[in-house]
Structure 1
Amino acid sequence: MSDRVREAVVAEAKDVKAASQDVVNSGAYLYPLKGLIYFATHKDLWGPFISRAGRTISLGVGVTTFMFFFTYVPQLAIMAFTSGPLAALSAGLLVLTESSTITNVLSRSFLVEDALVDTFDGTLVARDQESLVAQGRQIKSRSGGRAAVARLGKTLTRPLARMRPQALLRTLIYLPLNLIPVVGTLLYIAMQGKRVGPGLHARYFQLKGWDSIKRDEWVTKNRGAYTG
């Protein structure tokens, strides 16, 4: 039995090592930074989010205030046993993570769904991918020097379904991993990346016309990049 356990542990360690190497080699962990820079330097993409910024910020402030008022002290008490003198900081970071998660789910479900689609499609148009975007919405002509987002017409497909309550529940279930100093947080981030990463390309998969089999094959092949 001990030999089997040892073999299982070694095999799992090899899998983790291989997955970690895929994440590092992919360089995909830099994409969020590249995306922020691209967004910041292309003002024509700002419109969809500016129109919803006030409501989204209000939602975030409201959720964060509620979470700190009702959950900070109980979690601080628990953190006192796991994080010692860093309990106050750890509890604060955990509450911020929870607030961010809840705000993200609620805003994506009720406030910024259309903005996400418009920004995604607008970016593709700006990158000369009109033919791809045309598979999911109407594209206006370039007349008048229209910017990328201004050229987006009626949406023909709606890929970004509202996030289900199960997704929020699953995320909240994983949150206690943050009680484990350093290692627990890294595990939480990795599990979230593995689960959430492919979902960020839902629009791309739909525009490409891929079925579930093709999509799963692609995600499996690029699992390290999506996790990264």
Structure 2
Amino acid sequence: MGGRIKNALLDEATHAREVAQDVAKSGAYLYPLKGIIYFAYHKSLWRPFLSRAGQTMSVGLSVTSAMFFFTYVPQVAIMAFTSGPLAPFSAALLVLTESSTITNFLSRSFVLDDVLIDTFDGTLVARGHESLVAEGRQLQPASNDAIARLGKKIKKPLDKMRPRALLRALILLPLNLIPVVGTVLYAYAQGKKLGPVAHERYFQLKGWNDKEKEEWVKKFRGGYTGLGIASFVLEMVPFASIAFAFTNSVGAALWAADLEKTLR
């Protein structure tokens, strides 16, 4: 039995090392950071974000207030057994993370769906991929304003985030109670799932079916894992998660634009 456990642990360690190497080689984990820089220097991309800023702030404040009112004290009581005198501080961080997760889910599902697509498409247009974007929407005559060029969508909007994704994130949240290792595992588990989701619009514009998408993601598995982890870590930041959702969308579009160059 001891030998089996040892072999299983060795296999997991080897797999983890291989995944880490693939992520590092891909360089895709840098695109969320590139998205922040690109977003900062292209003011036309701010409009989708600013158009929904008030609504998303309201959702965030409502969720955070409710979470502190209903869950803070019970979580302090539970964490008193694991964190001792630091329980109030640890519980506050956990509640903020939970609130950020819920706010992100609700905002993406009911408030930000269309404008995140606009941000992704606008970035592709700004990078010179009008023909790709034209597969999914009408484009206005040439202009220096990428967002102003976006017309009516001719492909149905992407599916909203599923409740199962929120449930999975909340179930895994306690991993953050394990110092360092737990947080790394949490980010990896979420990032592995969310990486391909960041390119759902790209796949839609390409007109790929499920099998084609699966083969593509498998080919760039390390890249999508890195992109997902980096994006997820940024969106875990309380109060700034929605802003990072937009910059992450820009980063995902930048990677899509670079991938398109490899297909030519």
Using structure 2 for the length normalisation, give the TM-score. 0.81
The AA in structure 1 aligned to 2:204 is: Q
| Structure 1 residue corresponding to 2:176, chosen from 175, 178, 189 | 178
Aligned counterpart, 2:2: 2
Percent of aligned positions with the same letter in both sequences? 66
Q: Which runs of 5+ in 2 are unaligned?
A: 227-264
Using structure 1 for the length normalisation, give the TM-score. 0.94
The AA in structure 2 aligned to 1:226 is: Y
Count of residue pairs brought into register by the alignment: 226
Aligned counterpart, 1:207: 205
Aligned counterpart, 1:197: 195
The Cα shift of 1:221 comes to 2.3
The Cα shift of 1:200 comes to 0.8
Aligned counterpart, 2:101: 101
Aligned counterpart, 2:36: 36
The Cα shift of 1:86 comes to 3.0
Q: Contact 1:159–1:206 (CA<8 Å) still a contact in 2?
A: no
1:165-199 deviation digits (Å, cap 9, x = unpaired):
11111111111111222211111111110111110
Q: Work out the CA distance in 1 between the residues paired with 2:111 and 2:200.
A: 18
Q: Work out the CA distance in 2 between the residues paired with 1:195 and 1:183.
A: 19
Q: Work out the CA distance in 2 between the residues paired with 1:41 and 1:24.
A: 27
Work out which structure has the larger RCO, using CA pairs closer than 8 Å and 6 or more positions apart in sequence. 2
1:140-178 deviation digits (Å, cap 9, x = unpaired):
111xx3511111111011342111211111111111111
1:89-126 deviation digits (Å, cap 9, x = unpaired):
22122111111111011101111111001111010000
Which segment drifts farther, 197-206 or 83-92?
83-92
Q: Work out the CA distance in 2 between the residues paired with 1:5 and 1:183.
A: 20
SS at match of 1:160: coil
The AA in structure 2 aligned to 1:157 is: K
Which segment drifts farther, 147-156 or 80-89?
80-89
Runs of at least 4 residues of structure 1 off by over 6 A?
none
SS at match of 1:161: coil
Aligned counterpart, 2:55: 55
Q: Which has the larger radius of gyration?
A: 1
Q: Work out the CA distance in 2 between the residues paired with 1:16 and 1:197.
A: 17
Counterparts in 2 of 1:86 and 1:17: CA distance versus 1, 3 Å: farther
Q: CA RMSD of the aligned region, Å? A: 1.4
Q: Which runs of 5+ in 1 are unaligned?
A: none
